[in-house]
């Protein structure tokens, strides 16, 4: 008997030691997993750095040319730029890219959203003999581009699932026999990977020497490391294999060095000339607002923000997490007097197109969309992009918010953040490649009340830091911040989870907040220094602890959904022992109001600008397929406002031949009525208007 007791006692001891060991093993395995992940990343980075060094050492056949030098086509290019595209000067890198394409090189272009990538392939497409093929991922994007080109009188068409038989026949004839007028053909990647018929026509076009250029827009879709991988993009490598002598240009706004390497490999363009421009968008003001846990309050705030800051129907986008949320938010905004439509992937193509058109023509003010709305949307005068909840990564946020201000004018990117939104996203992305890591990067961006928002983008894209110039909330904030010592609160959270895990229980973030509050009531007396935290601050602390790996998320599928639970992370022990002080940054009061952006933005339209704006809308409604911004860009309106041309000849010098031929008489009529006709009212009026000072925040423009 006694012997049995001794054995049982030892058995218990061994079992408890085993339990202890298993915990340690679990922690070590977690650490191992993280280290493996980091190891893989570092290896990839090393590989990239070696390859790019090798390529630059061992590729004398790609001479380092001066792409901004003189070329035989200079005058032709300048003439087309100004007279056809109505663009008065190049933006950074555009000229160099166009020259390298005109020289027949393959080119990789990384240029920020709105930087002007389209011109880089559209201009050579117009000048080179033959047809340019453009691969683009979305129907809406293709439609935008084709309509824009048609407005400039450039023969462009698209071949997609919506193309009618007659146009399809016309396109196939143009490819096969060189009949009809076709300069630029847009297709979705599925056409390349799925339509044998199309590929055979394209081959015929190539054999006849009529395929002049291949452009892959939104090229990051090729890489599964990018934020918007599309399987059909993977097959685009075939284009270089089939048409090795045709220059290829791949363009994207966002590509980390890993994605760049991937693109070069997948598209088979190892000798491509690479142009990388800054990711900085100096005209965008970034801010994060605290989001209320009450849905209606959030909508009230968004509605107030729109109607107070943008009372003149200025265009904007509100991004939502789910389709249902989109519909709800659009309805509620309409209920508050804002003309808003929703847009998501569940709608049929016709309905989506209708919504897109209304907005593009500024007939509705806001599109409330899911991620389905927008890659590369070409509306240049989007003044604000609001995120109703956080995006799934810094890259996605950069891309989505980057739809604001593509015309270079001051615009605003606002993100409504609540820590409780993190698990909503994490349960959607945890199975993706680096999904959680990416989400935690944007959560870090949102949680920060001190760091420059712009700086976070530079860090993410591995670029040297540039001045923010007071264009983010954290850089201009006058709110007093204080650091709360949350070491004791952290101990409570960790011990709570430890207890729960011992009892095989789990808690979601919100359940953990409730449990914390109950426990706090009973144990607060133990530490007379620890301050009481508000509910939002507890949520913020838990997310901070997840980001710092004291805690971590675990996921479980149910029949209807995936639940995200908060459990102990690899670094829970030092936190429990209070060895690592934990600080939580808190703001003394909520939102800040005065900032430089607001005064920059308050650049009211002059009467003349308002009239020209009305005129472009009228012309747009008269000609079904032309957008107001294709008639005159906001930049061109400002130019006319400054120079007040009153003759066709003067006008042509400002906006080029094609637009003057098309809209010159309408414009001159407006100019004359507003300036009291006068050439003679001239100089005085001109000076006055120039002095009004147009606020352009451009990156690097060249003459
Ligand atoms: N040199 C220029 N001067 C003035 N405006 C320009 C110039 N180049 C392009 N633009 C205008 O800038 C806007 C954005 O250009 P574009 O659509 O080519 O951007 P993008 O780089 O393709 O952006 P995204 O990544 O969002 O697709 C357009 O309205 C275009 O007409
Ligand atoms: Mg584009």
- Nearest of 552, 516, 546, 522 to residue 534 by alpha carbon: 516
Distances from the Cα of 214 to the Cαs of 73, 131, 173, 555, in angstroms?
20, 9, 19, 44
Looking at all shown ligands, the one closest to residue 113's CA atom is 1
* DSSP string for 515-579: HHHHHHHHHGGG-SSPPP--HHHHHHHHHHHHHTTSEEEEEEE-SS-EEEEEEE-TTHHHHHTT-
Q: Ligand 1: which residue has its CA nearest to atom 24?
A: 113
Q: Cα separation of 353 and 109, whole Å?
A: 29
CB 542 within 8 A of CB 551: yes
Give the model's pLDDT for residue 340. 97
Contact between 668 and 648 (Cβ < 8 Å) = yes
Neighbouring CB atoms inside 10 A of 639's CB total: 16
Calculate ∠ Cα 437-450-479, nearest 5°. 140
Poorest-pLDDT segment among 442-451, 488-497, 522-531: 522-531
Range with top average pLDDT, 350-359, 371-380, 495-504: 495-504
Q: H/E/C letters for each residue in 95-150? A: HHHHHHHHCCCCEEEECCCCCCHHHHHHHHHHHCCCEEEEECCCHHHHHHHHHHHH
Residue range 473-494: mean pLDDT, rounded: 91
Q: Is the pTM of this model over 0.80?
A: no
If pLDDT is split at 50, 70 and 90, which confidence band does 64 have?
low
Q: Which of 80, 116, 151 to mutate to test the pocket of ligand 1 (most atoms within 8 A of CB)?
A: 116
Atom of ligand 1 nearest to the CA of 94: 1
pLDDT digits (tens, 9 = 90+) for 112-121: 988 999 999 9
Q: Mean per-residue pLDDT for 406-429?
A: 93
The alpha carbon torsion through 36, 42, 43, 45 (nearest 10 deg) reads 150
Question: According to the model, what pLDDT value does residue 110 have?
Answer: 93
pLDDT of residue 692: 36
d(CA 79, CA 342): 41
Cα–Cα distance, 57 to 139 (Å, whole number) = 41
pLDDT at position 698 over 50: no
Q: Whose CA is nearest to atom 22 of ligand 1?
A: 117
Q: Residue 395 has what pLDDT?
A: 87
Pairing mode of beta strands 315-319, 366-369: parallel
In the chain the first and final C-alpha atoms are separated, in Å, by: 98
Q: Are strands 366-369 and 340-343 parallel, antiparallel or unpaired?
A: parallel
Ligand 1, atom 14, lies closest to the CA of 114
- Whole-number pLDDT of residue 264: 93
Give the confidence band of 334 by pLDDT, cuts at 50, 70, 90.
Answer: very high
Cα–Cα distance for residue pair 237/268, rounded to 1 Å: 6
**Closest approach atom of ligand 1 to CA 117:** 21
Nearest atom (ligand 1) to Cα of 148: 31
CA distances from 274 to 122, 253, 460 (A): 18, 13, 20
Q: In whole angstroms, what is the distance from residue 269 CA to residue 59 CA?
A: 13
Mean pLDDT of 288-302: 95
Read off the pLDDT band of 336 (50, 70, 90). Answer: very high
Q: Which residue has the higher pLDDT, 349 or 489?
A: 489
Average pLDDT of every residue of the chain: 86
578: left (phi over 0), alpha (psi -120 to 50) or beta: left
Distance CA 126, CA 124 (A): 5
Band (pLDDT 50/70/90 cuts) for residue 690 is very low
Determine what percent of the chain is predicted with pLDDT higher than 90: 60
Q: How confident is the model at residue 431 (pLDDT cuts 50, 70, 90)?
A: confident
Q: Residue 561 has what pLDDT? A: 87
Tell me if 90 CB under 6 Å of ligand 1: yes
Contact 401, 276 (CB under 8 A): no
Would you tell me how many other CB atoms lie within 10 Å of the CB of residue 184? Answer: 23
* pLDDT for the residue numbered 379: 87
Q: Which range, 50-59, 94-103, 427-436, 611-620, has the best average confidence (pLDDT)?
A: 94-103
More confident position, 106 or 595: 106
Q: Ligand 1 mean position to 410 CA, how many Å?
A: 15
CA of 640 to the centre of ligand 1 (A): 20
* Beta carbons within 10 angstroms of residue 560's beta carbon: 5
Q: Distance between CA 152 and CA 117 in Å, rounded?
A: 17
Ligand 2 centre from 613 Cα, in Å?
A: 24
What mean pLDDT do residues 429-455 have? 92
Nearest CA to ligand 1 atom 29: 380
pLDDT, residue 598, reads: 65
pLDDT on residue 287: 95
Q: How many CA atoms lie within 13 A of 311 on its CB side?
A: 4
Q: Is the C-beta atom of 117 inside 6 A of ligand 1?
A: yes
Q: Do the strands 211-216 and 131-135 form a parallel or antiparallel pair, or are they unpaired?
A: parallel
Mean per-residue pLDDT, 425-442: 90
Helix locations, 152-291, DSSP H: 165-177, 189-194, 196-207, 237-242, 257-266
User: In sequence order, which residues have a C-beta less than 8 Å from that of residue 325 and are 6 or more positions away?
Assistant: 388, 389
* Torsions phi, psi for 344 (to 5 deg): -155, 175
Other beta carbons within 10 Å of 377:
21
pLDDT surpassing 50 at residue 684: no
Reply yes or no on whether the pLDDT at 678 is more than 60: no
Ion ligand 2 neighbours (CB, 5 A) are 117, 376
| Dist CA 529 CA 491 (whole Å) | 14
Provide the 3-class DSSP secondary structure of residue 437: helix
- Alpha-carbon distance of 515 to 499, in angstroms, equals 12
Given the CA of residue 119, which atom of ligand 1 is nearest to it?
18
């Amino acid at each position: 008997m006694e012997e049995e007791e001794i054995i049982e006692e030892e058995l218990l001891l061994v079992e408890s030691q085993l339990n202890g060991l298993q915990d340690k093993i679990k922690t070590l395995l977690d650490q191992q997993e993280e280290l493996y992940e980091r190891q893989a990343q570092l290896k990839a980075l090393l590989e990239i750095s070696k390859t790019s060094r090798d390529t630059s050492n061992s590729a004398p056949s790609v001479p380092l040319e001066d792409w901004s030098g003189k070329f035989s086509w200079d005058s032709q290019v300048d003439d087309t730029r100004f007279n056809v595209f109505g663009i008065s000067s190049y933006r950074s890198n555009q000229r160099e890219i166009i020259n390298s394409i005109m020289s027949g090189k393959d080119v990789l272009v990384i240029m920020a959203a709105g930087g002007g990538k389209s011109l880089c392939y559209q201009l050579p497409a117009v000048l080179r003999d033959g047809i340019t093929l453009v691969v683009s991922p979305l129907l809406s994007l293709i439609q935008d581009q084709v309509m824009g080109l048609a407005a400039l009188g450039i023969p462009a068409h698209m071949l997609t699932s919506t193309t009618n038989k007659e146009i399809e026949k016309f396109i196939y004839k143009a490819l096969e026999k060189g009949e009809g007028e076709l300069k630029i053909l847009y297709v979705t990647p599925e056409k390349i990977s799925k339509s044998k018929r199309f590929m055979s026509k394209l081959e015929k076009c190539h054999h006849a020497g009529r395929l002049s250029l291949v452009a892959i827009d939104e090229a990051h879709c090729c890489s599964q490391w990018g934020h918007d991988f599309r399987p059909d993009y993977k097959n685009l490598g075939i284009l270089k294999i089939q048409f090795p002598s045709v220059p290829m240009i791949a363009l994207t706004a966002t590509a980390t060095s890993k994605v760049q390497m991937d693109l070069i490999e997948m598209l088979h363009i190892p000798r491509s000339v690479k142009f990388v421009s800054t990711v900085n968008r100096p005209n965008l003001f970034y801010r994060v607002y605290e989001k209320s846990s009450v849905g209606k309050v959030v909508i009230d705030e968004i509605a107030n923000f729109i109607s107070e800051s943008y009372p003149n129907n200025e265009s904007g986008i509100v991004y939502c997490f789910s389709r249902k949320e989109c519909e709800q938010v659009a309805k509620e905004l309409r209920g508050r007097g804002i003309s808003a439509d929703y847009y998501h992937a569940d709608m049929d193509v016709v309905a989506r197109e209708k919504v897109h058109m209304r907005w593009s023509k500024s007939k509705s003010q806001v599109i409330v969309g899911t991620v389905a709305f927008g890659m590369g949307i070409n509306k240049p005068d989007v003044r604000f992009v609001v995120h109703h909840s956080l995006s799934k990564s810094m890259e996605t946020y950069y891309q989505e918010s980057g739809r604001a201000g593509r015309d270079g004018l001051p615009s605003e990117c606002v993100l409504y953040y609540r820590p409780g939104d993190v698990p909503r996203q994490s349960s959607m992305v945890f199975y993706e490649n680096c999904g959680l890591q990416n989400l935690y990067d944007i959560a870090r961006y949102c949680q920060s009340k001190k760091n420059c928002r712009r700086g976070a983008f530079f860090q993410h894209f591995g670029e040297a830091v540039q001045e923010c110039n007071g264009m983010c909330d954290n850089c201009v904030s006058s709110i007093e911040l204080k650091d709360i010592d949350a070491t004791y609160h952290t101990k409570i959270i960790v011990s709570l989870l430890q207890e729960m895990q011992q009892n095989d229980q789990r808690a979601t973030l919100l359940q953990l907040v409730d449990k914390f509050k109950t426990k706090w009531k009973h144990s607060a007396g133990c530490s007379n220094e620890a301050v009481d935290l508000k509910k939002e601050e507890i949520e913020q602390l838990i997310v901070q602890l997840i980001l710092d790996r004291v805690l971590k998320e675990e996921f479980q599928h149910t029949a209807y959904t995936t639940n995200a639970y908060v459990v102990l992370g690899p670094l829970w022990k030092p936190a429990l022992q209070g060895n690592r002080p934990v600080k939580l940054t808190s703001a003394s009061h909520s939102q800040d109001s005065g900032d430089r952006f607001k005064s920059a933005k308050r650049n009211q339209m002059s009467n003349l600008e308002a009239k020209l704006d009305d005129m472009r809308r009228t012309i747009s409604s008269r000609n079904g397929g032309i957008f107001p911004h294709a008639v005159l860009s906001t930049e061109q309106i400002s130019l006319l406002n400054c120079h007040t041309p009153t003759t066709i000849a003067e006008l042509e010098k400002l906006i080029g031949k094609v637009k003057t031929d098309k809209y010159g008489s309408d414009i001159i009529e407006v100019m004359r009525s507003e300036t009291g006709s006068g050439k003679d009212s001239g100089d005085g009026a001109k000076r006055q208007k120039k002095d009004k000072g147009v606020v352009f925040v451009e990156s690097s423009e060249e003459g």
